[in-house]
């Protein structure tokens, strides 16, 4: 398997872990019965739980972009050391982003997001070559 695809799989794993962290925060706030119901009228998650939920949603948005670029690069045969670097930048920056966001560290979170975006740009540039 191409290493870029391997990083895509690990990015999916990271997304699932983020979902579980956000779900745990919801469970802690409202309990099991509210979560197995229709989830109408649930209180807004605040604190680390709200941040975990927003980080997960942000990962979902960015995973679509990452998956699209990696899959196109693999299908058209444009993978190389630079696409691997882009995929590595994306994955490790997203891992850092998740931890930094849940911890509530401002500015550094934005820097991590920018690094992940740079990874996407690197992959895109190789596809367009």
Does the pLDDT of residue 68 top 80, yes or no? yes
Give me the percent of the chain exceeding a pLDDT of 70.
Answer: 97
Does the pLDDT of residue 67 top 80, yes or no? yes
Domain count, the chain: 1
Output the six-digit token pair for 66: 């990452």
pLDDT classification of 26: cutoffs 50, 70, 90: confident
Average pLDDT, the chain: 94
Q: What local confidence, expressed as pLDDT, does residue 45 receive? A: 81
Tell me the chain's radius of gyration from C-alpha atoms: 17
Q: How buried is 12 (Cβ within 10 angstroms: 0-12 exposed, 13-18 middle, 19+ buried)?
A: middle
pLDDT in tens, 89-113: 999 999 999 999 999 999 999 999 9
CATH number of the domain to which 73 belongs: 1.20.120.550
pLDDT in tens, 73-89: 999 999 999 999 999 99
What CA–CA distance (Å, rounded) separates 124 from 129? 9
Question: 17: domain range?
Answer: 3-128
Q: What local confidence, expressed as pLDDT, does residue 128 receive? A: 97
Q: What local confidence, expressed as pLDDT, does residue 13 receive? A: 98
């Amino acid at each position: 398997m191409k290493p870029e695809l391997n990083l895509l799989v690990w990015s999916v794993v990271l997304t699932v872990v983020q979902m579980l962290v956000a779900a745990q925060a919801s469970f802690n706030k409202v309990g099991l019965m509210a979560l197995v119901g229709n989830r109408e009228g649930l209180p807004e998650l605040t604190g680390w739980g709200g941040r975990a939920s927003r980080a997960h949603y942000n990962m979902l948005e960015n995973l679509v972009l990452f998956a699209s670029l990696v899959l196109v690069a693999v299908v058209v045969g444009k993978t190389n050391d630079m696409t691997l670097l882009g995929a590595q930048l994306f994955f490790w920056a997203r891992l850092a982003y998740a931890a930094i966001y849940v911890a509530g560290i401002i500015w550094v979170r934005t820097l991590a997001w920018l690094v992940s975006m740079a990874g996407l740009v690197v992959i895109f540039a190789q596809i367009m070559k």
